């Protein structure tokens, strides 16, 4: 059983019994519930859909589109697309919402339906709960024969996205064209192969593709982590490229490889882009609680405010709107640039990163060396059957906020999303998983040993809990 129904949609492995995994029936029912939810809210009876390159994509897409037609909806079908392109397509077409068919960085046997509101942003927790009630009750009504919807292809979706980026005042198109960066793109056999090259070529780049056949048979684990990008790193060095670019299957995460084959660091994609934006536009910056301290350091260097949100794009976007942030995102390579749209977008991310690389006049490795150095650990702590994660985190918060022998408290405690313990320039963040009996642990410090020590201290406290 892999099917997970949440406030943001549904995901699971393809096949098996309905309700256990992601089957045609599950996809149809969620699409119907979403259509009904839009009707109840009085929104436009128009929905934008798009899919990544997964093997199951055509099947799920056809089921979703025809179900929405059965609800009386007009379906704008981008076909092979990206999450940010679908998101931008919703307001572009004045649609009531959108559905992205992608399991993001999960392996090829997975797929998912991710739901967008009329702004092209992920639906809120409150909206998600309302939709899940419709789904559970099967409370949807289909259209009569003369009120059936229709499917309209959107062959210019990529052009729309690329052109919007080129028109941004923060993207120095002509200067970039003169520089002629040489780049390699690992598209992991998904839609990055169709969407990244047109943008990069418009920016004057010499582009080479790795894993560019869009067949959904991912050449390596699709999560853009260093251990999965060794082939890209080797190719960048051998071909004397200026930069290696890796995206996940739905192109909302951007990870970079330096000209010497070293990793720029997924946590530092946002730092570099924020450096560029803050050099032009002062204002607050936002990342989630599990993202690197380096972004806060950068904001302080510019004399600007830094704000942290709960983990998850919807929470980052909410905090960005509350604070008027000029740039934000997540430390996994997710860039959110509000002048374009409120969503993670590797395409605008690479345009802004190249602008920063151009501005610096440095190689990618030299640019990276100029940012504060931190080491981060990402781990999981199994929970015993007798452990209540909420009670555990509450007790740990009390323990680590207690004063020491001198009466001073060396830790700052944040309980917005799980438990974050900050100790000077070091921190550890614990969050319970919604899908596994584990706690996710993130720890960061100026050195690897400090990060390991802090992680061990907290992990030992978890193990000793009674």
Question: What residues are labeled active site?
Answer: 104
| Beta-strand relationship, 110-116 and 9-13 | antiparallel
Other CB atoms within 10 Å distance of the CB of residue 360 = 16
Give the SS3 label for residue 459. helix
**If we measure between CA atoms, which residue out of 123, 229, 250, 122 comes closest to residue 184?**
229
Is-contact 180 207, C-beta < 8 A? no
Q: How far apart are CA 141 and CA 118, in angstroms?
A: 21
CB 106 within 8 A of CB 222: yes
What values do phi and psi take at 147, rounded to 5?
Answer: -120, 10
In contact, 98 and 120? CB cutoff 8 Å: yes
Residue ranges of E strands in 212-317: 243-247, 254-257, 285-288, 306-309
Measured at the CA of 118, the angle between CA 112 and CA 122, to 5 degrees, comes to: 40
Residue 439, token pair as written in the block: 């706690």
Question: Which residues does 394 contact at the CB level (< 8 Å), separation at least 6?
Answer: none
Q: Do you know the residue count of the chain?
A: 466
Distances (CA, A) of 4 to 49, 50, 132, 312: 20, 21, 12, 16
Q: Per the structure block, which two tokens stand in for 335?
A: 């860039």
């Amino acid at each position: 059983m892999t099917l997970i129904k949440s406030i943001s949609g549904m995901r699971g492995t393809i096949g098996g019994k309905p309700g256990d995994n992601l089957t045609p029936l599950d996809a149809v029912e969620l699409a119907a519930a979403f259509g009904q939810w839009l009707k109840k809210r009085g929104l436009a009876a128009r929905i934008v859909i798009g899919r990544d390159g997964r093997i199951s994509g055509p099947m799920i897409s056809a089921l979703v589109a025809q179900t929405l037609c059965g609800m009386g909806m007009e379906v704008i079908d981008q076909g092979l697309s990206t999450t940010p392109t679908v998101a931008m397509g919703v307001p572009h077409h004045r649609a009531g919402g959108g559905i992205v068919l992608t399991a993001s960085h999960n392996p090829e046997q997975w797929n998912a339906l991710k739901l967008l509101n009329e702004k092209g942003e992920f639906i809120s927790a409150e909206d998600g709960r309302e939709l899940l009630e419709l789904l559970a009750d099967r409370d949807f009504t289909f259209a009569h024969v003369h009120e059936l919807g229709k499917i309209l292809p959107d062959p210019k979706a990529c052009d729309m996205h690329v052109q919007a980026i080129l028109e941004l005042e923060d993207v120095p198109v002509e200067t970039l064209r003169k520089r002629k960066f040489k780049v390699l793109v690992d598209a992991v056999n998904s839609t990055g192969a169709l969407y990244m090259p047109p943008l990069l070529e418009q920016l004057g780049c010499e582009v080479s593709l790795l894993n560019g056949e869009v067949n959904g048979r991912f050449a390596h684990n699709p999560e853009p982590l260093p251990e999965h990008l060794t082939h890209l790193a080797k190719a960048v060095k051998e071909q004397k490229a200026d930069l290696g670019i890796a995206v996940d299957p739905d192109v909302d995460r951007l990870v970079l490889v330096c000209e010497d084959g070293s990793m720029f660091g997924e946590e530092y994609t946002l730092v570099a882009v924020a450096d560029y934006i803050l050099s032009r536009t002062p204002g607050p910056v936002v990342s989630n609680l599990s993202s690197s301290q380096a972004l806060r350091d950068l904001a302080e260097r510019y004399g600007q405010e830094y704000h942290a949100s709960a983990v998850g794009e919807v929470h980052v976007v909410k905090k960005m709107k509350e604070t008027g942030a000029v740039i934000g995102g997540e430390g996994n390579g997710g860039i959110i640039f509000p002048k374009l749209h409120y969503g993670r977008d590797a395409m605008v991310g690479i345009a802004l990163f190249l602008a920063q690389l151009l501005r610096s006049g440095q190689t990618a490795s030299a640019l990276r060396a100029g940012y504060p150095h931190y080491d981060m650990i990402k781990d999981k702590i199994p929970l015993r059957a007798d452990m209540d994660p909420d009670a555990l985190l509450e007790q740990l918060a009390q323990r680590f906020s207690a004063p020491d022998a001198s009466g001073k408290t060396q830790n700052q405690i944040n309980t917005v999303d799980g438990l974050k313990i900050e100790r000077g320039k070091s921190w550890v963040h614990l969050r319970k998983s919604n899908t596994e009996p584990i706690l996710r642990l993130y720890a960061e410090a100026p050195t690897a040993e400090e990060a390991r020590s802090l992680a061990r201290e907290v992990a030992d406290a978890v193990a000793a809990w009674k």
